[in-house]
Amino acid sequence: MNLWHISEDAFHPDLKTIHSQESVFTIGNGYFCTRGTFEEGYPRDNTATLLYGVFDAIPIAKEELANIPDWLPIKLFINGERFRLDRGTILSYHRWLSMQDGVLHRTVRWKSPRGVRILVHSERFASLADEHVGIIRYNVTLEDAGSDQECELDVRASLNIAEGNYDVIHWENVDQGHQNDIIWYHCETKKSLVHLAQTMSFRSASPDVHQKIVDSDVSPSISFAGTLAVGATFSAEKVVVMYTSRDTSDPVNAALEHHQNLSGYHAGSAQTTNHARFQEENLPKAASAQSLLYERMLQQQRAAWQPVWEKADIIIEGDDTAQRAVRFNLYQLRINVSSHDDRYSTAAKGMTGFGYRGHIFHDTEIFMLPFYTYTMPNIARNLLLYRYHLLPAARKKAASNGYEGAQYPWESTLNGEETTPSSIIHPETGEVIPVLNGFIELHITASIAHAVWQYWQVTGDDDFMRDYGAEILLSTAQFWGSRAEKNEQHDDYEINNVIGPDEWHEHVNNNTYTNYMARQNIRYALYIQDWLRQTNPAKAQQLEQQMDLTNEITSHWQDVVQHMRILQDPQTKVFEQFDGFFKLELLDQSQYKGRKDSYQGILGVEQVQKYRIIKQADVLMLLTVLDQEFDLQTKEANWDYYYPITDHDYGSSLTPALHVILACELGRIEQAYEFFTKGALVDLENLRGNTPEGIHLACSGAVWQATILGFAGLRLNNDGYTTDPHWPDGWTRLAFTFFHKGEQFHVDLRK
Amino acid sequence: MNLWHISEDAFHPDLKTIHSQESVFTIGNGYFCTRGTFEEGYPRDNTATLLYGVFDAIPIAKEELANIPDWLPIKLFINGERFRLDRGTILSYHRWLSMQDGVLHRTVRWKSPRGVRILVHSERFASLADEHVGIIRYNVTLEDAGSDQECELDVRASLNIAEGNYDVIHWENVDQGHQNDIIWYHCETKKSLVHLAQTMSFRSASPDVHQKIVDSDVSPSISFAGTLAVGATFSAEKVVVMYTSRDTSDPVNAALEHHQNLSGYHAGSAQTTNHARFQEENLPKAASAQSLLYERMLQQQRAAWQPVWEKADIIIEGDDTAQRAVRFNLYQLRINVSSHDDRYSTAAKGMTGFGYRGHIFHDTEIFMLPFYTYTMPNIARNLLLYRYHLLPAARKKAASNGYEGAQYPWESTLNGEETTPSSIIHPETGEVIPVLNGFIELHITASIAHAVWQYWQVTGDDDFMRDYGAEILLSTAQFWGSRAEKNEQHDDYEINNVIGPDEWHEHVNNNTYTNYMARQNIRYALYIQDWLRQTNPAKAQQLEQQMDLTNEITSHWQDVVQHMRILQDPQTKVFEQFDGFFKLELLDQSQYKGRKDSYQGILGVEQVQKYRIIKQADVLMLLTVLDQEFDLQTKEANWDYYYPITDHDYGSSLTPALHVILACELGRIEQAYEFFTKGALVDLENLRGNTPEGIHLACSGAVWQATILGFAGLRLNNDGYTTDPHWPDGWTRLAFTFFHKGEQFHVDLRK
């Protein structure tokens, strides 16, 4: 078993498995991701290529990442019979994702309905060295043609605009043409008017085939037709280059130029081309040179992935399943984030599917960001810059709610406006389902502040804190300062009418997670205000003036910090999740044994609120996120209280892996490993049934945290770091690296 | 001015006009309609071909007519320059729809950006003689090539799956291939799994061009490339044949066979074809024979339209605008209804656009059906059979609401379930808008009963009444009998909590229209029960048993008829629209002069309910639909009351034309003509701004009623018919025909 491979040894033709594996076998490079559909297509597959930050408007949910014209199609006909996995007989099948270099391979031995036997091998990757490029190598070997010595071969590569986000098509053709043997395709989104150019070449050094180019506004193509002898292999390379108007003002020429430079062609500019016509000239025969392109780009690809793994890899010995699963999650964390673009962030499902439409949640800051902060701090910095750029929109949201400072939206896309729909209609029952999160799930604002703080603690990036971070901390503190309500009777501050991380309980008061994180947010701001005054008084003054941060405000903040209401039983040390939670009725879970749905699904949105049953870690998440604030006794008491009343199987996918950290601290290794598995395999085994809509990227981030902060027990301090390993059964080694204040550390723990 | 032509003499490049004219220039034959987009395409055009009763599922609104792969595309390149109306210079432009034979023509003289001048003439029609066939003739003449004597020509005809209902794509490719020079394309709807086969040929007798076939799963095409000399004309014909799984179990072979029979090819069955590959063989040169196909089919087309106009035409002399507008509405009434299919009916916008998604409303029975009943009774019969087939679903709806008998849905598609969404979400504001019509707009059930009755009265089709109509009348009466609530105090029956035709007032009690029509419905049932007992006692008994129609029920019906509450001021004779309507505040309309929105749009859904301002005829519609029930004095009094408080400009498009009948009876010819114009020109001049979503077919039906029952004053009686002409200014002649009890009558009125 290769520990760098995710493998599939048989083709399972049920659509649920097919769609789930499409998500698993996604390739990507942060500029784009492409789901693992087949080049030949499959009936009702969900093919998708999504680009980082390329959205189109939609009703209700405002905007979504717009699935671009499909660049994968390669259709193969042998003696006129179409090769596709729903036809003929699959004699053998093997597909594997090589995570080390991000290359997806597939080998199929297939017998056509009329008995011709072929071997098809394809490979593809999204170039990490050259992020605008996707490349496919496609080989066909004729193994048996019955009494014939050769077969007629027809291989057609194309781009295809007739693909949407499920059924919704986002692109409109603008123009199309070709230059020599490079096809170019120019389209724009229907509503947001983003322009996209794709160029495509399809080349072969094989003899006895004839190349043909077909221009089309809908599906331009390049084909090879000819004969293939028994035992011979036809080999071709499909190269696609993509640029959008978010990259350059002239994406068509940028893509063409880029493509020509790749392949060594120089055919002049797009303007001089004969647009969109058939062309049959004998094209320059550069194929033999071209056949080297794939190998050359593969070398670059390996070279580009090497430093990624040098920084991100985690070596686990003694548990191959865990080793591969962890790598899979790290792979996903890398392919779904841009290495340089700070105008967008990593979405709930990254770019691996249509789920959550590419919107950004607190998933990024709470679950994924620690991975980036510790291993790829430059990317973490970009993700925080995304939030910095959207401060004006967050200020607007706070103001429109009657508050000061900056309130971040629960769901965020490009312009930072709230993109959570306020209601949805159940597509079958017609029932209107109000969605309150955009109005009252507030804690994301503190999550972002906490992520800024943590980034600064881990990296020591003072420039970032001075130029960007401080303004986020102060603006968000300002929001909380105005949002906290003084209770004169109790002489304390409350935050009422919110949703905490446990989203099954709505309109709650004094959610411990929210209040505590809000207080922490203000603490960070007070600290950083001092720090700024000392280290950079000019910047401090500028911000204070700009934000009108008077002394009254600062002392109000101090008052809020001192008197924020935090509900905790002084005897038991158990935090109360919110006002009145302790008094809710305990749900008798034993009567739901064998259930296949969440408790909310079973009880309904209204009923579930009456019970002491929660969707996901809430108090326990607080104890994990602000780990160093709480002693072990407190953690133990709260674990014992909340662990049994959490829906670990059908609640949120976010927190199982996060529980590992606490479980390790409490020495509950078996439980920790169980949680780790639920997180690490959530997509590889489609544990929640919704991997078809994309992989669970927050869970991937939680798996990194579980492994490093949980099993390895890594903690940073001013002098450096400590580890406190907890060894699941069988694990004998746990090795990884991380950055702390610019220095890289290598940790190699052995049992 | 040709009185059979709808003409456009200049191209207006604003999208609103383009989309509106696409609806106007729709061609069709009842099997399919195709909007008037250009063969060459235009950026952001809304091309659509909809088939009678071919739906796919969608969220919330349940299902919609599924726009099929576009069969129009013909792309033209001269010396590599693309001909399209957004490029180059339009030197002259003329487009006209010949209503007499349903042929759409366009002539464009165009100069390319590099100065080549061409004349393009295209013609197309949906064959009325052979409803599976669409055909296009496409001619290109080279007028000026500068210093050159000839140009390179490239003309590509294709089918294109990358089109949806706006952005929603409904079809998934199944397979594709070609036989000789006929391409076939097989796809199915994504959810309802309707199969569609389209075959396409593209032939030319022109010399110096070379034909090529390109197979594709997305956009298969046939092209001609070659040279065109100055002064020469390239001419080609595109023929498309369409079959679905609603027509036959094997639509691909049905379409191929049909196409071969059209064109004289016999190339074997689809199974033996080489699927989806490039092919370049020299194809059989049958082009010269083929060039006759268009002419031959055009002859058939004229022959097929002739009897339509013999039955449906209305001749108006002295008012050319009215003459053409009336013909346009008659044309639409014909192309949007099948001549033989009784599994579907005519939708609010027919098949001319995406508005109302192909759903059937009371528009059909109240507004359109009289046209069919008087001029094409066999079609009227099919439309009523559609309702008959859906009685089981209507019974289910009644039962699910706790009532007896059959309650028809407000919006209906194939299976007769209620397809009105229960709520919609405003796509921009996110506001939830409850849609009550599916729950409480009840009067459609009586509309259907009335249409059955009227059909019987006009046609004397006793067989229909016995076999189908009676069951509709009895079942709907049964519904009303159980729906009417006994008011013991008043000793009468009420129908509470409804919406009447005026949809701006919701949850009203005792809407006069609803109560009166319900009573009428029961009267019809009582009459027909007697009639059936006398003429066909066995059938009477069978129905009574099947429906459990006891004597108690019959006497209950009689009681309801006698005691139905009908609100009418005994002094003034004015009917009160509903309980309390007279007490609502009168709206001061003078303060809204120059408004561009309906009063509901201005005041809001809640506010408008408080005012005595109505969306459309309600009481006045009753006086029109049951014309012979009311004396002139009553009509006059109600007209004077309701006419001034109706939003004739921005309320419903349904009723302006219907007002004509009453206005004529009251001798208010000027007003009548004003209303007539608002109806007759609603689409030709896009008076309401929503013609882009399709033409107003109910309004077309109302225009027929306005002309025949209004201006001509036609009334039937047992002895025959009478007319009572009212002559708008300028009108000197009004001639038409109709059927009464199987006999055709020709009326020729002259001033």
Would you call B708 exposed, middle or buried from its count of C-beta atoms within 10 A (0-12, 13-18, 19+)? buried
Looking at residue B343, what is its pLDDT?
Answer: 98
Contact with chain A for residue B572, Cβ under 8 A: no
Across residues B374-385, what is the average pLDDT?
A: 98
Comparing alpha-carbon positions, the chain B residue that sits nearest to A432 is B423
Contact with chain A for residue B172, Cβ under 8 A: yes
Inter-chain touch A82–B174, beta carbons under 8 Å: no
B286, pLDDT greater than 80: no
B270, pLDDT greater than 50: no
A266, pLDDT greater than 50: no
Contacts of B73 (CB under 8 A, 6+ apart): B39, B40, B41, B156, B157, B158, B159, B160, B219, B221
Q: Which long-range contacts (CB under 8 A, 24 or more apart) does A433-437 make?
A: A433/A605, A434/B432, A436/A499, A436/A506, A436/A507, A437/A410, A437/A411, A437/A499, A437/A503
Comparing alpha-carbon positions, the chain B residue that sits nearest to A59 is B427
Q: Does domain B314-589+597-750 have CATH number 3.40.190.10?
A: no
Looking at residue B278, what is its pLDDT?
Answer: 35
Q: Which amino acid is at B198?
A: Q
Q: How does pLDDT run across A80-104, given as a tens digit for each residue?
A: 999 999 999 999 999 999 999 999 9
Catalytic hit among B150, B503, B636, B685:
B503
Q: How does pLDDT run across B303-362, given as a tens digit for each residue?
A: 999 999 999 999 999 999 999 999 999 999 999 999 999 999 999 999 999 999 999 999
HEC sequence for B9-77:
CCCCCCHHHHHHHHHHCCEECCCEEECCCCCCCCCCCCCCEEECCCEEEECCCEEEECCCCECCCEEEE
Average pLDDT, chain B: 94
Inter-chain touch A154–B216, beta carbons under 8 Å: no
Looking at residue A719, what is its pLDDT?
Answer: 85
Q: Could you please state the CATH topology (level 3) that the domain comprising A5-278+293-309 is classified under.
A: Beta-galactosidase; Chain A, domain 5 (2.70.98)
CB contacts, 8 Å: A219 with chain B: 162, 216-219
Q: Measure in Å the smallest separation between the Cα of A177 and chain B Cα atoms.
A: 10
Q: How does pLDDT run across A105-131, given as a tens digit for each residue?
A: 999 999 999 999 999 999 999 999 999
Query: If you write DSSP's letter for every residue of B176-243 in order, what string do you get?
Result: EEEETTEEEEEEEETTT--EEEEEEEEEE--TTEEEEEE--SS--EEEEEEEEETT-EEEEEEEEEEE
Domain with CATH 2.70.98.40 in chain B: 5-279+286-309
Inter-chain touch B223–A158, beta carbons under 8 Å: no
**Where do the DSSP E strands lie in A206-345?**
209-214, 221-229, 233-244, 314-317
Q: Which of A154, A217, A431 sits opposite B278 (nearest CB)?
A: A154
Contact with chain B for residue A84, Cβ under 8 A: no
Which candidate in A219, A280, A424, A432 is best for mutational testing of the B interface (most B CBs within 10 A)? A219
A278, pLDDT greater than 60: no
Q: How does pLDDT run across B444-470, given as a tens digit for each residue?
A: 999 999 999 999 999 999 999 999 999
Across residues B6-29, what is the average pLDDT?
A: 97
Which candidate in A163, A214, A272 is best for mutational testing of the B interface (most B CBs within 10 A)? A214
Q: SS3 breakdown of chain A: % helix, strand, coil, rounded to 5? A: 35, 25, 40
Report the alpha-carbon distance of residue B346 to residue B383 in Å, rounded.
8
Contact with chain A for residue B226, Cβ under 8 A: no
Q: Is-contact A639 A662, C-beta < 8 A?
A: yes
**Structure token digits, residue B52:** 């009678």
Q: Is-contact B206 B189, C-beta < 8 A?
A: no
B657, pLDDT greater than 90: no
Inter-chain touch A423–B422, beta carbons under 8 Å: no
Report the alpha-carbon distance of residue B333 to residue B324 in Å, rounded.
14
Contact with chain B for residue A425, Cβ under 8 A: yes
Q: Is-contact A224 A204, C-beta < 8 A?
A: yes
Least confident stretch, A247-251, B39-43, B291-295: B291-295
CB contacts, 8 Å: A277 with chain B: 77, 80, 154, 225
Domain with CATH 1.50.10.10 in chain B: 314-589+597-750
Q: How does pLDDT run across A464-480, given as a tens digit for each residue?
A: 999 999 999 999 999 99
Across residues B29-53, what is the average pLDDT?
A: 97
- Token look-up 């016999």 returns B266
Residue A80: other Cβ atoms inside 10 A: 18
Q: Is-contact A329 A355, C-beta < 8 A?
A: no
Inter-chain touch B154–A425, beta carbons under 8 Å: no
Across residues A17-21, what is the average pLDDT?
A: 98
B243, pLDDT greater than 70: yes
Average pLDDT, chain A: 94
**Structure token digits, residue A144:** 């048996």
Contact with chain A for residue B189, Cβ under 8 A: no
Looking at residue A290, what is its pLDDT?
Answer: 46
Contact with chain A for residue B81, Cβ under 8 A: yes
Comparing alpha-carbon positions, the chain B residue that sits nearest to A44 is B172
Report the alpha-carbon distance of residue A618 to residue A623 in Å, rounded.
9
Catalytic residues of A: 503
At A274, is the pLDDT very low, low, confident or very high (cuts 50, 70, 90)? very low
Report the alpha-carbon distance of residue B738 to residue B749 in Å, rounded.
14
A15, pLDDT greater than 50: yes
B386, pLDDT greater than 50: yes
- ∠B274-B275-B280 over CA atoms, to 5°? 65
Looking at residue A188, what is its pLDDT?
Answer: 98
CB contacts, 8 Å: A84 with chain B: none
Q: Which amino acid is at A234?
A: F
The residue with greater pLDDT, B620 or B205, is B620
At B430, is the pLDDT very low, low, confident or very high (cuts 50, 70, 90)? confident
CB contacts, 8 Å: A420 with chain B: none
Q: Give exposure, A586-624, as e/b (b: 16+ Cβ within 10 Å).
A: ebeeeeeeeeeebbbeebeeeebbebbbbbbbbbbbbbb
Domain with CATH 2.70.98.40 in chain A: 5-278+293-309
Report the alpha-carbon distance of residue A244 to residue A249 in Å, rounded.
8
Across residues A563-573, what is the average pLDDT?
A: 98
For the entire predicted model, the pTM comes to 0.93
Contacts of A217 (CB under 8 A, 6+ apart): A161, A173, A176, A276, B41, B75, B219
Percentage of residues of chain B with pLDDT beyond 90: 92
Q: Is-contact A135 A125, C-beta < 8 A?
A: yes
Looking at residue B291, what is its pLDDT?
Answer: 52
CB contacts, 8 Å: B432 with chain A: 422-423, 425, 432, 434
Q: How does pLDDT run across A534-560, given as a tens digit for each residue?
A: 999 999 999 999 999 999 999 999 999
Q: How does pLDDT run across A379-394, given as a tens digit for each residue?
A: 999 999 999 999 999 9
Q: Measure in Å the smallest separation between the Cα of A388 and chain B Cα atoms.
A: 27
Report the alpha-carbon distance of residue A32 to residue A49 in Å, rounded.
7
Question: What is B5-279+286-309's CATH superfamily?
Answer: Glycoside hydrolase, family 65, N-terminal domain (2.70.98.40)
Looking at residue B265, what is its pLDDT?
Answer: 46
Listed by number, the residues of chain A in 267-326 with a beta carbon closer than 8 Å to a beta carbon of chain B are 273-278
CB contacts, 8 Å: B168 with chain A: 164, 167-169
Inter-chain touch A275–B81, beta carbons under 8 Å: yes
Report the alpha-carbon distance of residue B337 to residue B30 in Å, rounded.
4
Contacts of B434 (CB under 8 A, 6+ apart): A432, B422, B423
